[in-house]
Each structure stands twice: as C-alpha cells, then as structure tokens.
C-alpha cells in the first residue's frame, strides 16, 4: 500500500472519529438547567385600568427630573414636585406603605409583612432621566417631555428608562393595596434619584437598610427584558440579568510647559495624550466565553437548531467561531470582554494656546471575571514610556456577583413573567450597563435585573436616544407581571 493511500485512510479515519465525537457530545449535551417552575402557583390578581395607567405614565414623564453631569444644572424642584405627585396620585399606596426620603431625593417605601422572620423583597426603579441631546428636539416625533399618548404608545424621556418601571410598580402596589392584599414578606420599593450619574441615593438607601439589619430574598431592578429575537429560537425568551458589569473611568493626563502655538516644541501635551489614548485603545481585552454568557448560550442551544446545538456542545472545537460570530456586533462583543471607550477630551482653552495639560476620560465596563486592578495594570503596560499620568476619575465599581438561577427568587420571577408569555423559557443574562441594584449585594441573597416587557433589539436605541416610548399593551403586561410577582413572592 502506497504511503499516500495510507495517509488518506488515516485522515479519513480521523475525520470519522472526530465526527463521532461531535455527534456523541451533541446527543449527550445536557447543561445545568434553570430552576423548574412547575410547582410555582400564580394566583389571579386585580385588573388595572391600563388607559388610566398610561395617562399617569404620560404625566410623570412631564417632570424634568434630568440628572446632568454637573449637578448644579439639575432642577431640584422637579424631583420634589414629582414625589408630591406620586403621593397624590397613589393615596392608597401612601396610606398602606411607609415612605422615607433618603439624602437629596431617594425614596424608600416599605410594606410590612406579617411574618418578620421571612427575608424581604426589594423592588427598584429610578426617578431620574438623562438629558436630551442639544439640538435633537426636532428629531422627536412628539416632544420629549410631553408624555404624549399616540400610536398606541406613551412617548417621552423615561418611558423605558425608567419611569415605565416606576409607574408599573406603583400601579401594581396600588391595585393590590386596594384589593385588601396583605403580604407575609415585607416589601421595599426603592427609587433612586440619581441612577444616571452614579446612584449615590441608592447607595445611601442600601446602607440605611443594612444598618437596620434588613435581609432580602432578592432584589429586582431594571436590566433585562423579554425578547422575541433570540437567534434560532421561535417565540419569546425571558432574559433575566443575573450579573452586571463593573464601571470605572480612567483619567489620562499629559503635562508640558505649554506656550504660544506659533512656537510649538517637540513635547506637546495634546500629542502625548493622543498617543496614550491610541495605545490603550489598541490593547483590548481578550474575548472569552465565561458565565453567565456561556451558561446562556448552553441553555439557548437546547432549544436551537441542530447546527447551533452542535457548536455549543463542542466548544472545545468551535469556540473560536462562536466568539467571532458574537463579536461581529457591538452588543455581542461587549458580552465577551471588558470594553474600553474613550469619551471626554480636554485641552487648551484657546486655539492659539499650547495646553499645559491635556486630559481624557476612558470609560471601562468591567467583565465579571476581571477587576479594576486588571484594568489599571493593562493601561499602564499599554502606554509604556509615553509621559502621561493614569488615575481613576472616581473610585471604580467592581463587577457584581453572579446570582443563582436555581433560587426561589428566580423561580418566582420566571413563573410570574412566563404566565404572561405562554410559558416562555428564562435564561441568565449579563447586563452590560450599571444599575442601582449593585449597592444591595450586602443585604440581598440574589439580585435580578429585568423590566418585564417585550422589547425588540431596535428598542435599545430608544433608551437615552430619540423617540423613547413604550407600547401601551407592553406597559399593561408589565403591570400585570409585577402584580403576580409581588403576590407570589410574598404570600
């Protein structure tokens, strides 16, 4: 037998063995499932007048509770007026729940449960919104603070982020209080006043509750959503955030003598800064498949087509292709690594003056498997001998712990949402942004993040963008889900 023929036979045998391994691993693929919800009973809840609820969401959007980067620009009376409006609009909640104002304007509502031995539940939604980009008002279909109800939707800044959640929670608690419902487990509603600029109010609220010895079964905040656009899956999928990325902003500063622009030296602050920014940006963090993203993919694969299941079941062979496919989109890439985003630049106050200092801010969203120390180390290695200073602009927030998808809290949340979406599956997800809930890790066993509305991928550009709105039927679903969740978690 010729050598060539032997090589061909050996190669064929190797291919057959490889194919058999892939087929066997695909057939036996059985990742750890999420908790079974068959035993969770969802009771009927009071009906809410959705038209009235939509009108109220439109009304609260009209309060310009805008968190500016410079706090001196905030119209603080807007928060006071909005909080007074909540008290007047939901008098039953005001009578049933005890209200506290923490710091500048963060709200804590508490509904005491009949069994104080049970850990509480904490529900969250923030009061503030981001500004409208200057000059963009004409791009809005309806004025951004009009709260217009049109085209079967409620329009305006905050409809999705996060006044939609806030009003859905108030409507739910109001309906339950009016029905005579009495919880066994204490309920806290925490509404931060400055989530969009760091969440100092939520941080203060968490410290206050911790000082009182409060323990929670779970905390629920914004973050995930229900999606009907998960690849290879027909029907809605409930994406519950079980972790969120950390947050850190690096300040890069270059200093030189400065002087007149007509006589530039070879040592320019702006040039040194530019070199440093490029060096840092050109040293990205490696993309990796790690929990909870890898867990999401594994669970998704169980309901996907054979090709997808085969790839996920055989990551040892196909991981590179999976990573490349995910990294082809900005959201997909962000799930795989710590992101680096140069955002703000500052240098000379005048066009003909060489700056004595040029600085930049680089924002990082830290993956759950890394820390701020890793970020600083890599940045220092990237700039090497470029004469710049590297410091944190503010103390970093490390990534959150990863919460369980086997807990009772997960079961309640999944079952409550699935009752509205035909038994849809729930998957653990990584939240790319930051939420106020990160401050509650010391008092909450698990933290979950989802606004229980059916959202398209295109809806993501509405958050902090133009034409933010929520469909009325979607808003109504969220109210019903919150009702069921509260009843199921606290009965």
Q: Is 258 left (phi over 0), alpha (psi -120 to 50) or beta?
A: left
| DSSP secondary structure code for residue 36 in this structure | P
Instruction: Say what angle helices 50-61 and 76-89 make with each other, to 10 degrees.
Output: 160
| DSSP secondary structure code for residue 303 in this structure | T
Question: Distance between CA atoms of 291 and 331, rounded to whole angstroms?
Answer: 16
Question: Distance between CA atoms of 223 and 450, rounded to whole angstroms?
Answer: 5
Q: Which residues of 463-490 are buried (b: 16+ CB within 10 A; e: fewer)?
A: ebbbbbbbbbebbbbbbbbbbbbbbbbb
Q: What is the pLDDT of residues 286-297, one digit of tens each?
A: 999 999 999 999
Q: What is the pTM of this model?
A: 0.93
Residue 1 pLDDT greater than 60, yes or no: no
Whole-number percent of the chain with pLDDT over 70: 98
Residue 11 pLDDT greater than 70, yes or no: no
Residue 446 pLDDT greater than 70, yes or no: yes
pLDDT value at residue 383: 98
Closest listed residue to residue 371, CA positions, set 404, 338, 340? 338
Residues 6+ apart with CB under 8 A from 445: 119, 215, 216, 217, 218, 407, 409
Q: Do 147 and 62 meet the contact criterion of CB atoms below 8 Å apart? A: yes
Q: Radius of gyration of the chain from Cα atoms? A: 26
Between the alpha carbon of residue 277 and those of residues 281, 361, 372, 414, 459, the distances in Å are 6, 9, 18, 43, 32
pLDDT value at residue 288: 95
Q: What is the pLDDT of residues 77-135, one digit of tens each?
A: 999 999 999 999 999 999 999 999 998 899 999 999 999 999 999 999 999 999 998 88
- Omega within 30 of 0 (cis) for the link into 292: yes
Tokens of 305: 């087509």
| DSSP secondary structure code for residue 397 in this structure | B
Nearest-5° Cα angle at 19, 14 to 24: 125
Q: Reading across the β-sheet that carries 339-346, which strands appear in turn?
A: 339-346, 357-366, 246-255, 389-392
Question: Distance between CA atoms of 108 and 102, rounded to whole angstroms?
Answer: 7
Q: Do 451 and 460 meet the contact criterion of CB atoms below 8 Å apart? A: no
Residue 195: phi, psi to the nearest 5?
Answer: -60, -35
Q: What is the pLDDT of residues 225-237, one digit of tens each?
A: 999 888 778 889 9
49-63 average pLDDT score: 98
Q: HSE (CB half, 13 Å, CA atoms) of 279?
A: 19
pLDDT band at 309; cut points 50, 70, 90 = confident
Question: Distance between CA atoms of 156 and 142, rounded to whole angstroms?
Answer: 8
Residue 5 pLDDT greater than 70, yes or no: no
Residue with tokens 């023929």: 5
Question: Distance between CA atoms of 283 and 305, rounded to whole angstroms?
Answer: 36
Question: Distance between CA atoms of 199 and 219, rounded to whole angstroms?
Answer: 16
pLDDT band at 159; cut points 50, 70, 90 = very high
Residue 19 pLDDT greater than 90, yes or no: no
pLDDT value at residue 215: 98
Residue 18 pLDDT greater than 80, yes or no: no
| Beta strand 106-111 pairing with 98-102 | antiparallel
Q: How many CB atoms are closer than 10 A to CB 207?
A: 14
**Partners of residue 189 on adjacent β-strands:** 109, 123
| Beta strand 357-366 pairing with 339-346 | antiparallel
Q: Residue 343 is inside which H or E element, if any?
A: strand 339-346
Residues 6+ apart with CB under 8 A from 4: none
pLDDT value at residue 197: 94
Q: Do 269 and 481 meet the contact criterion of CB atoms below 8 Å apart? A: no
Q: What is the pLDDT of residues 172-224, one digit of tens each?
A: 999 999 999 999 999 999 999 999 999 999 999 999 999 999 999 999 999 99
Q: HSE (CB half, 13 Å, CA atoms) of 85?
A: 17
Residue with tokens 């487990």: 185
Residues in the chain: 491
Residues 6+ apart with CB under 8 A from 261: 351, 352, 353, 354
Question: Distance between CA atoms of 284 and 330, rounded to whole angstroms?
Answer: 14
Question: What is the DSSP track for 448-480?
Answer: EEEEEEE--GGGGGGTTSTT-EEEHHHHHHHHH
**Partners of residue 155 on adjacent β-strands:** 469
Most confident option among 148-152, 310-314, 321-325: 148-152
322-335 average pLDDT score: 93
pLDDT band at 376; cut points 50, 70, 90 = very high
Locate all alpha helices (DSSP H) within 251-341, ordered by sequence: 269-281, 293-302, 306-313, 315-326, 330-334
Residue 24 pLDDT greater than 70, yes or no: yes
Mean pLDDT of the chain: 94
Residue 156 pLDDT greater than 70, yes or no: yes
- Omega within 30 of 0 (cis) for the link into 162: yes
| Beta strand 120-124 pairing with 187-191 | parallel
435-461 average pLDDT score: 94
50-77 average pLDDT score: 95
């Amino acid at each position: 037998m010729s050598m060539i023929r032997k090589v061909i036979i050996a190669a064929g045998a190797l291919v057959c063995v490889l194919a058999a391994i892939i087929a066997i691993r695909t057939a036996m693929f059985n990742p750890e499932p999420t908790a079974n919800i068959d035993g969770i009973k969802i009771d009927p809840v009071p009906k809410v007048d959705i038209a009235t609820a939509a009108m109220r969401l439109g009304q609260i959007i009209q309060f310009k509770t805008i968190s500016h980067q410079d706090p001196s620009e905030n119209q603080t009376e807007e928060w006071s007026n909005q909080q007074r409006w909540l008290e007047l609009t939901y008098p039953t909640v005001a009578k049933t729940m005890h209200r506290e104002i923490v710091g500048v304007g963060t709200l804590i509502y508490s509904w005491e449960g009949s069994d104080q031995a049970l850990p509480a539940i904490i529900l969250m939604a923030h009061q503030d919104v981001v500004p409208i980009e200057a000059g963009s008002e004409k791009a809005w279909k309806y004025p951004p603070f009009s709260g217009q109800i049109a085209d079967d939707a409620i329009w305006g800044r905050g409809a999705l982020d996060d006044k939609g959640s806030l009003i859905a929670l108030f409507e739910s608690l109001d309906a339950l209080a009016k029905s005579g419902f009495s919880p066994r487990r204490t309920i806290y509603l925490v509404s931060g006043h400055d989530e969009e600029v760091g969440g100092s109010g939520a941080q203060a609220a968490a410290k206050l509750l911790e000082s009182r010895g409060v323990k929670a079964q779970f905390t629920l905040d914004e973050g995930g959503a229900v999606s009907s656009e998960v690849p290879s899956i027909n029907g809605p999928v409930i994406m519950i955030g079980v972790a969120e990325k950390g947050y850190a902003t690096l300040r890069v500063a270059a200093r030189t003598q400065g002087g007149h622009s007509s006589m530039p030296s070879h040592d320019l602050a702006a040039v040194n800064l530019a070199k440093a920014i490029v060096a840092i940006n050109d040293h990205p963090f490696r993309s990796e498949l790690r929990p909870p993203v890898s867990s999401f993919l594994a669970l998704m694969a169980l309901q996907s087509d054979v090709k997808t299941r085969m790839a996920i079941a055989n990551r040892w062979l196909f991981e590179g292709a999976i990573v490349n496919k995910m990294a082809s989109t900005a959201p997909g890439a962000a799930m795989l690594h710590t992101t680096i985003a140069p955002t703000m630049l500052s240098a000379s106050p005048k066009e003909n003056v060489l700056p004595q200092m040029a600085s930049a801010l680089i924002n990082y969203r830290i993956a759950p498997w890394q820390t701020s120390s890793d970020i600083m180390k890599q940045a220092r290695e990237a700039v090497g001998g470029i004469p710049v200073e590297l410091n944190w602009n503010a103390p970093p927030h490390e990534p959150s712990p990863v919460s369980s998808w086997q807990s009772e809290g997960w079961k309640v949340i999944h079952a409550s949402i699935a009752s509205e979406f035909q038994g849809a599956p729930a998957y653990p997800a990584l939240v790319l942004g930051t939420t106020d809930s990160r401050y509650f890790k010391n008092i909450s066993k698990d933290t979950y993040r989802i606004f229980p509305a059916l959202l398209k991928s295109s809806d993501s550009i509405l958050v902090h963008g133009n034409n933010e709105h929520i469909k009325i039927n979607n808003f109504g679903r969220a109210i019903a889900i919150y009702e069921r969740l509260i009843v199921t978690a606290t009965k």
